[in-house]
Amino acid sequence: MSNSILGLDGKVAIVTGASQGVGLGCARQFVQAGADVVITCRRAAPLEKAATELRASGRKVVAVVADAENPEEFAKVIDAAQKNFGRADILVNNVGGRRGKPEGSLLESGPEYWRGTLECNLVSVFSCTQAFARHLIAAKRPGVVVNVASVAAFHASPNLAPYGASKAGLIQATGTLALELAPHRIRVCGVAPGMVDTDSLREWLDDAKISARGRKLPAGRIGLPDDLGKVVLMMASDLGAWIYGATLVADGGELLGDVHHPPA
């Protein structure tokens, strides 16, 4: 596909949680499409490693160590975009996960697991989107926000109520934010990934279990970070210009139910 149809040449994308996994997959796609990027996460070493990889594309990459859950720290990310590029056009709210120790079921877990997970997956999106929107409005520029949710919002999983609830809340908030920000020429939409092969997933599942789960999907495998990066790229680009408030499921058919591909 020609990059011209995407309309991303010279645009600047901020991607949170971009040192690895889906966030890095998103950043890869943006630089390949001709955009410059500001990437951020809380850890310096993996962030710089990601930045080095992305700079090989020839695009400008700015890495900012910051906690997207902290509004004061995320302000540094906006400042870096303004200082280095004079603008920011796209925000990908990719930070997410589980915070606190998941002790087990409702009867066993503590409130810190709920609070931490909601802060990470929901409150951080509010803070980052607010700062980004204020920047765009002050600059009188249009922009796009893409929120990364999860198919966990649509089905129940034992011991994962805080995670699923936070992602369901994010999907609802995506629609509300789209309504609030559309008058300011800021488009808000979302993507709900299924299972993706990331370092975080491999902390829970080994190769055999990941392969077995992938064979049950209609796609025949679980997702890769670049699979999701391409979907986010489409949503953020001119190809997604008519998408307001919707969250696109990109899960290799996971929500459709199991099929059984033979082992490779």
Mean per-residue pLDDT pooled into runs of 10, the chain (264 residues): 84 97 98 98 96 98 96 96 98 82 68 87 95 98 98 87 93 98 99 89 82 91 96 98 98 87 66
Q: What local confidence, expressed as pLDDT, does residue 2 receive?
A: 55
Taking alpha carbons only, the member of 210, 59, 225 closest to residue 148 is 225
Q: Which CATH architecture has domain 3-196+224-250?
A: 3-Layer(aba) Sandwich (3.40)
Distance CA 170, CA 157 (A): 17
pLDDT for res 207: 86
For residue 163, indicate whether it is catalytic: yes
pLDDT of residue 103: 53
**For the chain, domain boundaries:** 3-196+224-250
**111-118 and 161-181 are packed helices; what angle lies between their axes, rounded to 10 degrees?**
30
123-162 pLDDT per residue, tens:
999 999 999 999 999 999 999 999 999 999 998 887 788 8
- pLDDT at position 201: 78
Q: Looking at 74, 114, 154, 163, which residue is catalytic?
A: 163
Question: What distance in Å separates the CA atoms of residue 31 and residue 236, rounded to the nearest whole number?
Answer: 13
pLDDT attached to residue 185? 99
pTM above 0.85, yes or no: yes
CA distance 226 to 73: 27
pLDDT, residue 188, reads: 99
**If DSSP codes are grouped into helix, strand and coil, which group holds residue 7?**
coil
Position 158 scores a pLDDT of 79
What's the chain's average pLDDT? 92
**Would you call 41 helix, strand, or coil by DSSP?**
strand
Residue 264: per-residue pLDDT:
60
Give pLDDT, residue 102: 53
Q: What percent of the chain has pLDDT over 90?
A: 76
User: Rounded distance, CA 121 to CA 94, Å?
Assistant: 9
